[in-house]
Amino acid sequence: MIQQISDLKMIKLLGKGSFGEVYLSKKMSDNNKYYAVKKIDSNSNNDKLKKYLDYEIKIMKMLNHPNIVKLEEEIKYQNSIYIIMEYINGGSLLEQVRKYKNKYQKGFPEEIVQYLMKQIISALIHIHDNNIIHRDLKLENIMVHFDSEKDKEESNMMKAKIKIIDFGFAILLPSTTSLTNWFILLYGT
């Protein structure tokens, strides 16, 4: 089912979560460039959902890093909110781990793990430097992008770019509270 909002055409459903659906979309005013669009029903009386959505948008606007999904814009249309983000073409890191294991009957070699971890840690440093805690970091929320179709088809993980997604459960600490102080307050010394 193709739906169109303004110049944004939703092509196919990529996935469903507890708070909404994500669609592969094209923006006609942007040379038919692909985007991922999270559609959330804004008519809901669920205050928790609204809080998570507000936080997610606020936090994504604060973050600008090559290993964090980029928020392009948000659109409120009829009874829904559409969060337009860059499209990441390689699926989740969990999917890539499984694909690699099925193909080679073993896990990633150390060289690939180091390459991917460097990107993940770089993104986490940026997130933490902005006093943000993700709180839902897992393989399903770490996406993989390939610049070429060949690298994507071959699952060339040494050419993969990591992108952390899903900031719906993230929290923003007060600017006067460092992460270290926050953990000390929670757990003691």
Catalytic amino acids?
A: 136
**How would DSSP label each residue in the chain?**
--EEETTEEEEEEEEE-SS-EEEEEEEGGGTTEEEEEEEEETT---HHHHHHHHHHHHHHHH---TTBPPEEEEEEETTEEEEEEE--TT-BHHHHHHHHHHHHSS---HHHHHHHHHHHHHHHHHHHHTTEE-S--SGGGEEEE-SSHHHHHTT-GGG-EEEE---TT-EE--TT--HHHHHHHHH--
Enter the tokens of residue 122. 């770089």
Enter the tokens of residue 88. 């990441």
